[in-house]
DNA sequence: TTATCATATTAGAATAATTCTTGTCAAGTA
DNA sequence: TACTTGACAAGAATTATTCTAATATGATAA
């Protein structure tokens, strides 16, 4: 498993279970998804622990918090720069690992100091296309 | 004022007040922003009316619901294709009215039918740059 | 190994945004 | 005028998330 937490990140069984679930996970799970999954191994697991752990991981830069879904936050253990393709019907999300050149002029940014970008592609996934 | 609602959208005084507030508004207001503003003219205004009106306008395609802000939804009366530049400190949002060519191959989209895209540029706004 | 200490865990309460419910009201229409 | 439809308002309900306070535990140093 990949290394998480920079330095003072205490590895508890609960956290290991959360990390196990996140590691390599491409489903962009919500806090509830994570909670439900980890609950199987830790019946006493609390939502607070999930949120605390996710917050610690976010602060150490080990996961990203996605604001793509209006209903809830989703989390992504892939912190390499990438973009997302979102199904507007079932809200599934897939990664687009590619760079796009977005040349934006200093005039356009109006004094902002640009630090990053993120592209959301909207579409209808194969499964949902079949159903309609 | 611009025309809102496609057909059967009953123009009531409350709705007109909401539309007045939205019309040409570039601040990407939240439901609360709208509520607070309209409350001045309509002290009996209910949150439900704000949400109902916003929902009707969204369904008729007259406004966009932005999921940029993890705390709350924001609304944008500008439905022309455009992108956003977001200050990571104060969360202010400004529009980028320009097309970017995002050529994405059918292989990359894995069977998705693409219907649109949206670019979020992240940065630090002039005001926040001064403060730090 | 054991004692200590900072930090993690837990349950549940609190909060905040949003949605739902229900009764009332008003505009338009037969 | 009576009817119908949809809008309004108030507040309850819901959902995601954060906070609180008491307890437990992992990491470290003796």
- What is the pLDDT of chain A when averaged over all its residues? 92
For B117, name the nearest residue in chain A, comparing CA atoms only.
Answer: A121
d(CA A68, CA B118): 11
The complex's ipTM? 0.88
The answer to the question of residue B5 being in a domain is no
Same domain, A39 and A66: yes
The answer to the question of residue B23 being in a domain is yes
Which residue among B39, B60, B76 closes a domain? B76
pLDDT digits (tens, 9 = 90+) for B14-56: 999 999 999 999 999 999 999 999 999 999 999 999 999 999 9
Helix (H) / strand (E) containing A121:
strand A113-124
The answer to the question of residue A6 being in a domain is no
Query: Which residue from A109, A116, A123 is facing B109, i.e. has the nearest CB?
Result: A123
Same domain, B18 and B57: yes
What single-letter DSSP state applies at residue B122?
E
pLDDT digits (tens, 9 = 90+) for A34-54: 999 999 999 999 999 999 999
Same domain, A108 and A54: no
Q: Which domain holds residue B97?
A: 83-131
Judging contacts by C-beta atoms under 8 Å, the chain B residues touching residue A69 are: 67
């Amino acid at each position: 498993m990949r290394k998480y937490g920079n330095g003072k990140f205490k590895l508890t069984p609960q956290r290991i279970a959360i990390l196990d679930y996140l590691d390599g996970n491409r489903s962009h799970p919500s806090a509830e998804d994570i909670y439900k999954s980890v609950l199987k191994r830790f019946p006493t697991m609390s939502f607070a622990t999930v949120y605390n752990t996710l917050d610690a991981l976010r602060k150490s830069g080990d996961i990203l918090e996605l604001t793509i879904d209006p209903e809830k936050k989703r989390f992504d253990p892939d912190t390499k720069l990438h973009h997302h393709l979102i199904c507007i019907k079932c809200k599934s999300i897939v990664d687009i690992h590619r760079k796009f050149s977005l040349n934006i002029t200093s005039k356009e940014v109006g004094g902002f100091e640009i630090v990053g970008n993120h592209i959301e592609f909207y579409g209808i996934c194969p499964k949902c296309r079949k159903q309609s």
